[in-house]
Amino acid sequence: MNDSPNPRVGEILERELPGLQRDVPVGPHCAYRVGGPAEYLYTASRTEALRHAVVMGRELDLPVTVLGQATNVLVSDRGIRGLVVLARNGDTSLDGELLTAGAGAVLPNVVLDLAQRGLAGLEFAGNIPGSVGGAVVGNAGAYGRAVGDALVRARVLADRDEYLAGPADLALGYRTSGLKGNPRGVVLEATFALCAGQRNTLLDEIARDAELRRGKHPLEYASCGSYFKNPSRELPAAKLIDELGLKGFRFGKAEVSRDHANFIVAHPGAGADDIRRVAGEVRRRVFEHFGVRLEEEVVLLGFD
């Protein structure tokens, strides 16, 4: 998989990015547990390391992919060319009711910590897996709320320069932002505005949501949550898929969940191609029957 034209690229990267790995599978880092090798894989545990890795990769003309907790990506069986950087810069700091978190901070941990301090504003996201950076990029949300509602600014690295982007600059939308699918904009950290809340009420809300999710999501299987975006709030993708009797539809080791029709679950031994084939067939049938084009919420990486 090592197909970079400059043979010194690996040497330079190894020198600049201690701990760099070559040709290692990305699957074990992903919620889907599938995905072929990254040409280069680097774990950035501090914000400066994340910044440096991205800048180095770009200087060496490598495609650079930043991942958070990889809970919303499907990586191809052929893997990802170039440099994959796992954001693990999890530092957080509070300034009154303003929280600043590194892109690699784990969102549910951050939200739980805030609830324990009696700080409200992100509790709806207490059970959304993933990182702060991934949540900003995908404007993660639940129950009609999204992280963008509480976002004050994100520190973004574009090419070599950083800028501070407010919600309006980020073109936030339903499960998207101007940064989604744009490898040149990397979130380094994000700041959110919170407000005073009742510690126990917040903790109860998070616990109730966890219970609700355990009841309706197939959490015992590998998945990326909802595979498709909902065409509208009134028209959930799960309803369309369910009405076509597609729960349990499978290809290879991938299957439309029997519990939640918008989850495509991967059984042990599944390949990314199995998942895509199931998704492709679901999309085809929904379009044929309802004339609705389903759009992926999951980000596809390493596919042609």
C-beta neighbour count of 194 within 10 angstroms = 20
CA distance 261 to 279: 11
**74 in contact with ligand FAD (CB under 6 A):** no
R_g of the chain computed on alpha carbons: 19
Residues 75-114 that bind ligand FAD (CB under 6 A): 87, 103
226 annotated active-site: yes
Cα–Cα distance measured from residue 247 to residue 258, given in angstroms and rounded to the nearest whole number: 5
Instruction: Give whichever of 67 and 110 is closer to ligand FAD, judged by the CB atom.
Output: 67
| DSSP conformational letter for 168 | T
- The single-letter code of the amino acid at 56 is M
Q: How many angstroms separate the Cα of 97 from the Cα of each of 30, 108, 114, 155, 188?
A: 33, 18, 10, 18, 20
Q: Which of 39, 226, 257, 283 is catalytic?
A: 226
Stretch touching ligand FAD by CB under 6 A, among 1-9, 139-147, 239-247, 249-257: 139-147
Residue 138 interacts with ligand FAD (CB under 6 A): yes or no: yes
Per CB under 6 A, contacts with ligand FAD among 248-277 are none
Comparing CB distances to ligand FAD, the nearer of 66 and 202 is 66
Minimum CB distance to ligand FAD smaller for 66 or for 256: 66
By CB under 6 A, is residue 56 in contact with ligand FAD?
no
Q: Locate the DSSP E strands across the chain.
A: 21-25, 37-44, 64-67, 73-75, 80-87, 92-95, 98-102, 119-120, 141-142, 145-146, 151-158, 161-165, 185-193, 195-196, 250-251, 254-256, 264-266, 299-301
**Class of residue 52 by CB neighbours under 10 A (exposed 0-12, middle 13-18, buried 19+):** middle
Contacting range for ligand FAD; rule: CB under 6 A; set: 63-71, 231-239, 240-248, 277-285: 63-71
Among the residue ranges 1-9, 128-136, 160-168, 199-207, the one whose residues contact ligand FAD (CB under 6 A)? 128-136
Residues in the chain: 304
CB of 8 to ligand FAD, least distance (A): 26
Site for ligand FAD in 219-238 (CB under 6 A): 219, 223-225
Q: Which of residues 19-48 bind ligand FAD (CB under 6 A)?
A: 31
Q: How far is CA 169 from CA 144, 148, 159, 164, 165, in A?
A: 21, 11, 17, 9, 5
Active-site residue (options: 58, 81, 175, 276): 175
Minimum distance, C-beta of residue 54 to ligand FAD, in the bound complex (Å): 9
Q: Which of residues 147-206 bind ligand FAD (CB under 6 A)?
A: 175, 179, 186-187
Residue 140 tokens, joined: 């993660």
Write the CB contacts of 210 (distance below 8 Å, at least 6 apart in sequence): 126, 127
Clarify whether 175 is annotated catalytic. yes
Is 17 a binding residue for ligand FAD by CB under 6 A? The answer is no
Name the one range near ligand FAD by CB under 6 A: 40-48, 218-226, 243-251, 279-287.
Answer: 218-226
- Compute the least distance from the CB of residue 51 to ligand FAD, in Å: 11
SS3 286: helix
Q: What's the closest the beta carbon of residue 288 comes to ligand FAD, in angstroms?
A: 27
Which positions are catalytic?
175, 226, 297
Which residues would be at the binding site for ligand FAD (CB under 6 A)? 31, 65-73, 87, 103, 128-131, 133-135, 137-138, 140-142, 175, 179, 186-187, 217, 219, 223-225, 299
